[in-house]
Structure 1
Amino acid sequence: MNGMLSGSPPPERSLERLQALFDYNPEFPLDSEESVIEERGGIAIHDVRYNAATGRTFGAYLVMPPGAGRFAGIIYVHPGPGSRDTFLDEAVMLARRGAVSLLVDAPWTEKAVATWGRTVTNPQNAVREHILTVIGLRRGIDLLAARPEVDAARLGYVGHSFGALIGGVLSAVEMRVRAYVLMAGTGSFTDVAVLNLPDLAGEALERYRRTLARDEFFPREISREFFEAASEPKSMRWYDAGHYLSDEAREDRMAWLSTELSLHSE
């Protein structure tokens, strides 16, 4: 688990140039729709849909604590395969500590992963899709920050596997997020592609690697280098667990988020 605060990128990189890849129109209407679909002990689970860009809509759960207040806000992005259900139980537990969570269905959900995989096999399409995903998460942050119940100064991000990779990109362009937890991640889109796109091999793989490597925003090394690329303050923990980690990891990240976002104890 890699918990870190967002900060400035290394000086040799032009933040302004890289940020331009992920610019979006904040006035573009979110046109969000939501409805309560479940309650758990006073904690409301909303089904939400919002627009990220023309023709690109994201689905999510919004998990709301009971009562009024200025709650911390957390955005969750699942691994692949996975879905917004992946961290739902955890979001409910954190709601009891005073956090509103937005659990986004990323493009690599269990239901959509086959279609998404065919799209990102083409490296040019992959670049476009990854940029649109980051913009979609920024619009999700817009949605969270605009809610009167949410304290926009206490926002966090939790990403697992591909969600961690995307979170690494997000952390360099989205300074509204105070705390990032990136788990079992890598800094290379190609590493993820090799594991998840079996048709990507040989010359096609090399072309894919070359195309994505053109953008220095995406580091090419694995977990240790991914961690080293992050700004201070930061910390890393290793667990005796598989890719999907363990209950111990979950307890540690909830404790860390509670400290960083000033949540209360249960």
Structure 2
Amino acid sequence: MHWALSSLGDPVSVTQHGVEDRDGVLVRDITYAGLEAEPVRAYLVEPARTGRYPAVLYLHWFEPPNPTSSRLEFLDEAVARARQGAVALLPDLTFPWSVDPVGDRRDVANVVAQTVRLRRGLDLLTARPDVDRSRVAVVGHDYGGMYGLLLASVDRDRIHAVVAMNVDATFGNWFATFFLGLSGDATIAYEELFEPVDPIRYVADRGGVPLLFQFAEPDFFVPDSTRRTLVSLARRPKDYRLYPGAGHELDAAARADREGWLTERLKG
């Protein structure tokens, strides 16, 4: 696939629409230039004090009409991490949030385009003078976590830790089941289109990037067999944690584990 469409290293244009000071943490409402200068809506969260910090790219889940099915999901976590000393980018993802799957190769192209927008977000973070480029992490939930697993492989030279929360192994499965209502041979043919971009193809090939899997047990959306396959294919270093009864949204225990795991891997 044409991952190089990102034009990595080029300056990323940013427009600020507002800023809020949350007791020493600045939450900036921005858009940045994504694929072919398309604006990507995001929060940029940073300490108000000067310094050189680790950075985290947070990628939200798909759960409309829940308002946390957006850049809002991880905002409190990003603010808490900024108080400890970190910069965070929280973009709004668009596929399949605002663009529905249609059932053909255009859906694969939209997965690639979404990944490129996120790579441009990495460009934005790693170009900042207050970001330590040797301490950059990605945290993703649901579809956001699936995109995070792609980034952890494609951008292994820029990413140093990844958290994947309640992720599926393939894009086509959820699209076919929950959006398109496909079955039988139609499902098989459709899922085959996504093989070049499926997380299960990338999870093993991270170049040593540490990975934390977080899964609810049980999870209606992620069968035990899918979870076990993903975890078994992932090469070390990896950690694997289950949260009984937490639901697909996960819970406070998962957040505490995630924050502790990231703190350990992003310390200077």
- TM-score computed with the length of structure 2 as normaliser: 0.81
CA separation of 1:64 and 1:36: change in aligned 2, threshold 3 A: farther
| 2:172 aligned with 1:185 | no
Find the residue that maps to 2:153 and give its secondary structure. Answer: helix
Counterpart-to-counterpart distance in 2, 1:216 and 1:173: 11
Larger RCO of the pair (alpha carbons < 8 Å, separation 6+): 1
Q: Is the 8 A contact 2:171 2:198 kept in 1?
A: no
- Please show how residues 12-161 of structure 1 align to structure 2 within 5 Å: 21-24=2-5, 25-26=7-8, 30-54=12-36, 56-81=38-63, 82-108=69-95, 113=97, 115-117=98-100, 120-161=101-142
Find the residue that maps to 1:239 and give its secondary structure. Answer: strand
Find the residue that maps to 1:33 and give its secondary structure. Answer: strand
**What letter is aligned with 2:175?**
A
Find the residue that maps to 2:84 and give its secondary structure. Answer: coil
Counterpart-to-counterpart distance in 1, 2:37 and 2:125: 21
Deviation digits for residues 85-111 of structure 1, max 9, x if unmatched? 0110111111111111101100147xx
CA separation of 1:56 and 1:206: change in aligned 2, threshold 3 A: farther
Paired residues in the alignment total: 237
Q: Is the 8 A contact 1:61 1:103 kept in 2?
A: yes
Equivalent in the alignment of 1:13: none
Deviation digits for residues 136-172 of structure 1, max 9, x if unmatched? 1111011001111111111000000111111111111
Counterpart-to-counterpart distance in 2, 1:105 and 1:224: 29
Counterpart-to-counterpart distance in 2, 1:236 and 1:139: 29
- TM-score computed with the length of structure 1 as normaliser: 0.82
Find the residue that maps to 2:44 and give its secondary structure. Answer: strand
Deviation digits for residues 113-156 of structure 1, max 9, x if unmatched? 3x411xx2233011111111111111101100111111111100
Deviation digits for residues 157-201 of structure 1, max 9, x if unmatched? 000011111111111110201000001011111222145305444
Find the residue that maps to 2:200 and give its secondary structure. Answer: coil
Most deviating of 198-207 and 91-100: 198-207
Counterpart-to-counterpart distance in 1, 2:127 and 2:197: 32
Counterpart-to-counterpart distance in 2, 1:100 and 1:121: 36
Q: Is the 8 A contact 1:168 1:187 kept in 2?
A: no
The alignment's C-alpha RMSD in Å is: 2.1
Shift of 1:76: 0.3
Find the residue that maps to 2:50 and give its secondary structure. Answer: coil
Counterpart-to-counterpart distance in 2, 1:151 and 1:29: 17
Shift of 1:229: 2.6
Unaligned runs of 5+ in 1: 1-19
Shift of 1:230: 2.3
Equivalent in the alignment of 1:243: 248
Once the two structures are aligned, what percentage of the paired residues are identical?
33
Deviating above 3 A after TM superposition, structure 1's stretches of 4 or more consecutive aligned residues are 198-204
Shift of 1:203: 5.0
- Please show how residues 143-222 of structure 1 align to structure 2 within 5 Å: 143-175=124-156, 176-201=158-183, 204-213=186-195, 215=196, 218-219=199-200, 222=226
Unaligned runs of 5+ in 2: 64-68, 202-224
